[in-house]
Amino acid sequence: MSSQIQLSSPFLRSISHTDVTVGTTKSQILTVPTNITEKRIVVVIQNKSTTETIQVIGNANDTVGILVSPLSTISLDNYNGALYAIASAAATTVHIAISSV
């Protein structure tokens, strides 16, 4: 008996990490990849604050986004655009982890 394994996405080999600080004014936390052959497989955004919330926004025009509670994360698969964020207080730390191929 033989078996066949099919994969719908590539194996992830590494994850890059960075922290950014956001405040009560919308700011860009992630840019579009400059290398056109780079494809983000997963983008994880973590709210590192123990008390403040953040909103993650997927375009430059909107003023509200996905609410991320304190010490929580969201994950975006195959997202290759820019991201913006607003926090409920100044100097809130947001962690971004990206795996690309």
String of DSSP letters for 15-59: -EEEEEEE-SS-EEEEPPPSSTT--EEEEEEEE--SS--EEEESS
- Write down the domain spans for the chain: 20-100
pLDDT tens per residue, range 69-84? 999 999 999 999 999 9
Q: What is the CATH number of domain 20-100?
A: 2.60.120
pLDDT tens per residue, range 27-72? 999 999 998 888 999 999 999 999 999 999 999 999 999 999 999 9
